[in-house]
Chains A and B, each alone.
Chain A
Amino acid sequence: MNIDFTAEELQFKEEVREWFNANLPADLKRKSELGIALNKEETQTWGKILNSNGWAAINWPKEYGGTGWSVSQKHLFDEVRVEVGAPNIMSMGVAMLGPVLHAFGTDEQKAEHLPRILNYDDWWCQGYSEPGAGSDLASLKTAAKLEGDEYVVNGSKIWTTYAHYADKMFCLVRTSTEGRKQEGISFLLLDMNDPGMTVRPIVSIDGEHHLNQTFMDDVRTHKSNLVHEENKGWTVAKYLLTHERTGIAGVAGSKAAIAKLKALAKKTIVDGKPAIENEQFAMKIAQVEVDLKALEYTNFRTLAASATGGAPGAESSLLKIKGTQIQQLLAELKVELAGYLAYPWGTLGEAGPEDFGHAVASYNFGRASTIYGGSTEVQYNVMSKGILGL
């Protein structure tokens, strides 16, 4: 057993660091360090910069324009990314649609979409959840009927993150009501500019607009936009869940958050001394750091197993449960450190040090991490069934 990285891997890490330092725009770095989400234009700018160096999709194989990196390289890249304060841009195209097309897409679908995903030319949103289908995703009702060469889609999707930015949507639709409900679902690609598509903004408890409800009223899409076979969409969705999800534990991000929290606690004077010298507060940071250490090594073990061919299945639930718990605790501690500066709302640095300007909004929105992508409750079910056989 050893946990050391090879000399080549460490050399790689140094190269990544140099590249980031040379190419990361200062304004994006600042926003990222303050915990503010990038807007569409900024996301695309940074995405294109990454792509110009071949780093837009670190989880894709080389043949599709990805990096083809080893798990160690991906891990080191992520570590450097947070260390230098680079944004973690979320592209549903890179994270989710890409891997689906690699596994199930036709040659035409791959040729049409993959380069545009890599270069952040198309913004994809995910149409999975519905008002009546959250944890019970398979009960989704949005219906697609084949009429001639086109599917006609009617229904509504909810929690569609950044649908208001999106050019396209990949979604799960019902193509059959026969048999088990999982067996009548298909995976379909839609155009957000279709006249039948309406997007209603949903403001979340951080006061921001990330989420939407989308309504499909006779939205049409050519049948060539079906991914995999009709009524096999559930297989596609499940594939994504067992597909390696880089960084689901968020270890690198939480490590950086701890470092930032400590730095902030050192410079924040509370009743005559730096907050870090308050033993009660210092112990709370230490407790989270200890928990994170346990998560980090569990994550290493999972990475090592998947490097030798073991597919992470239900184990990734453990990483998500513990990882999000730690992220939420860290956000909570930052709010505690802010004290009365938790009150000013929607101001950045006007009413206090800008370090606290977004602390509470981040804490608030961070509550979603145990709800989306399979809630903590669902992850417990996955583990009790998938690992414990209960």
Chain B
Amino acid sequence: MDFSLSEEQQLIKESVDKFIAKDYVFENRNKILETEDRFSRDLWKQYAELGWLGMALPEEYGGFGGSAVENMLVSEAFGSAMVLEPYLSTVVMAANALVLAGGSEDQKKELVEQIIAGDLLISVAYAEAESGYNLANVSVTANGSGDSYSLNGEKIVVLNAPSADKFIVSARTSGEQSDQSGVSLFLVDANATGVELTSYNTMDGGRGANITFNNASATLLGAEGEGFEVLDQVIDIATAAICAQALGAMNTAFQRTLEYIKTREQFGVPIGTFQVLQHRLVDMFMAVEASRSMVYMVSMSLASDDANERRAAVSSAKAFMGPEARKVAQEAVQIHGGVGMTEELDVGHYFRYLTLFCGTFGSTDYHLKRFAELTQ
């Protein structure tokens, strides 16, 4: 048993943490929020140059062949500052979808290389209005064969969609609405005819869109009808990544609150002298520590050859961390009092960020049920 980082991982962690502490302070993030994209294309380029975008992707695709641990380190640091750039959408989700899907290696290699170079943004469109969190519940249809398919239907809440160059879309090529077989993955150009976005800001400060496809031209990615296993694995990897992001956010919210109760005075003393608050800060601390354990656990389990083992690990982490994240978020606001309710302080932004974490890639109930079914 060894929880220590390799020398390379330690260096990565130091460089990402240093960047976050120096360049991604709250005021800078607020400036990025005033731009149209709501993320910085300059910073995105910088991440590419620093090698962060290809860190956890395989070498044969131009990556550095790191493991889920590298991804965890970047995700935790990014979460601690609520980084707005589309690392989750483009690198964790889209690049992994390309790598894991079968099919033409040349086509995939070119796209992943462009992603790693910071030249291509892709968002994955999988959720539908009535699908809940079931990735097999797909009503968007794809008709065609060979190189030519056309998509019809709607996907909702596609993160970073307004700035994406392409989409990876799950669509049904055969079977009933919730069948796992018959789900296929497609590549669609964002500016293709028949692709229409309803764009909006998202609660955590980013951008998202619902997308309707009306006979939109699409390229099959991997084998027809066999997209579910790929998508399921991609969402598991992404779930592990947002658990690490949430850990970073929880820890920052906890640290801010700890600092606040040491300095905020009422009744002539720092409020941190009240035992009621001391115990609640200990609860927050324990939530962060237990969550860190789960983030390590899930990061080490992602590489498992046994898909069910991977699924159970991911679901246990998400099911555990949902309530812990909500508790830390709510307590951070409550203990800050009125000022915690404002846009002006970062605590309220962490609250919103963590609220979204709870319902992304499956709620606590969804993952608890999935875990129960996998471990019966």
* Contact (Cβ within 8 A) B338 A351: no
Q: Judge whether B352 is part of the interface by a CB distance below 8 angstroms.
A: yes
Work out how many contacts link A and B, with CB atoms closer than 8 A: 144
Q: How large is the interface on A (under 10, 10 to 19, 20 to 34, 35 or more residues)?
A: 35 or more
* Contact (Cβ within 8 A) B201 A346: yes
User: Chain A contacts of B177 at CB under 8 A?
Assistant: 272
* Contact (Cβ within 8 A) A342 B341: no
User: Chain B contacts of A204 at CB under 8 A?
Assistant: 341-343, 348
* Complex interface residues of chain B between 149 and 178 (CB less than 8 A to chain A): 156-157, 159, 177-178
Given A269-B130, A351-B156, A360-B203 contact (CB < 8 Å): yes
* Contact (Cβ within 8 A) A371 B157: no
* Contact (Cβ within 8 A) A376 B156: no
* Contact (Cβ within 8 A) A370 B210: no
Given A211-B341, A371-B338, A377-B276, A340-B266 contact (CB < 8 Å): no
Given A345-B203, A360-B203, A350-B156 contact (CB < 8 Å): no
Q: Judge whether A134 is part of the interface by a CB distance below 8 angstroms.
A: yes
* Contact (Cβ within 8 A) B198 A271: no
Find the B residue at minimum CB distance from A209: B343
Q: Judge whether B119 is part of the interface by a CB distance below 8 angstroms.
A: no
Interface flags for A257-278 (1: CB within 8 Å of B; 0: not) read 0000000000001111000001
* Contact (Cβ within 8 A) A372 B202: no
Q: Which of B10-18, B132-140, B186-194 contacts A (4 or more CB under 8 A)?
A: B132-140
* Contact (Cβ within 8 A) B365 A280: yes
Q: Judge whether B344 is part of the interface by a CB distance below 8 angstroms.
A: yes
Q: Judge whether B94 is part of the interface by a CB distance below 8 angstroms.
A: no
Cβ distance B276 to chain A, nearest Cβ, rounded Å: 6
* Contact (Cβ within 8 A) B338 A129: yes
* Complex interface residues of chain A between 180 and 213 (CB less than 8 A to chain B): 202-205, 207, 211
* Complex interface residues of chain A between 200 and 244 (CB less than 8 A to chain B): 202-205, 207, 211
User: Chain B contacts of A371 at CB under 8 A?
Assistant: 333-334, 337-338, 340-341
Q: Which of A24-32, A112-120, A142-150, A331-339 contacts B (4 or more CB under 8 A)?
A: A331-339
* Contact (Cβ within 8 A) A344 B200: yes
User: Which of B200, B268, B356 is A350 in contact with, Cβ under 8 Å?
Assistant: B200
User: Chain B contacts of A165 at CB under 8 A?
Assistant: none
Q: Judge whether B281 is part of the interface by a CB distance below 8 angstroms.
A: no
User: Chain B contacts of A139 at CB under 8 A?
Assistant: 266-268
Q: Judge whether B127 is part of the interface by a CB distance below 8 angstroms.
A: yes
Q: Which of A90-98, A170-178, A301-309, A361-369 contacts B (4 or more CB under 8 A)?
A: A361-369
Can you pick out 16 interface pairs between chain A and chain B where the beta carbons lie within 8 Å of each other?
A: A139-B267, A202-B342, A204-B343, A205-B333, A336-B359, A339-B132, A339-B133, A343-B356, A344-B203, A345-B203, A360-B355, A364-B355, A367-B334, A371-B333, A371-B340, A375-B337
Interface residues of B, Cβ cutoff 8 Å to A: 127, 129-134, 137, 156-157, 159, 177-178, 198, 200-204, 208, 210, 265-268, 276-277, 326, 330, 333-334, 337-338, 340-344, 348-349, 351-352, 355-356, 358-360, 363, 365, 368-369
A-B contacts besides A159-B338, A343-B356, A345-B203, 19 pairs, CB < 8 Å: A134-B338, A135-B337, A202-B342, A269-B130, A271-B178, A272-B137, A335-B359, A339-B359, A341-B156, A343-B203, A344-B201, A344-B202, A344-B203, A345-B200, A345-B201, A346-B200, A363-B355, A377-B276, A380-B276
